Amino acid sequence: MIVVVRHGETDLNTNVLIPGHRCTTGMIGAYFNSIPADNNIFIYSSNNGVYRTYSFKSKQ
């Protein structure tokens, strides 16, 4: 199944799994949490078998 998620849609209740390596999961964490002062995005990376959840905030 392919789900298209458009930014700004507020009635969408969908979970999206984005698997990746340390650099990918670290970058996603930095997007939601901001880049750390020391620029080390790996503090947000996920280990094998571990996942993190993030929520989009509505613009409304």
The answer to whether position 49 is within a domain reads yes
21 versus 16: the higher-pLDDT residue is 21
Give residue 37's domain range: 18-55
Contact, 56 vs 28, CB < 8 A?
A: no
Is residue 44 domain-resident? Answer: yes
Could you tell me if residue 7 is inside a domain? no
What lies within 8 Å, CB to CB, of 32 at 6+ separation is: 54
- Count of structural domains, the chain: 1
Asked if residues 27 and 41 have their Cβ atoms less than 8 Å apart, the reply is yes
pTM of the model: 0.64
Contacting residues for 7 by C-beta, under 8 A, at least 6 apart: 56
Q: Which residues contact 6 (CB under 8 A, 6 or more apart)?
A: none
pLDDT digits (tens, 9 = 90+) for 29-40: 998 899 999 999
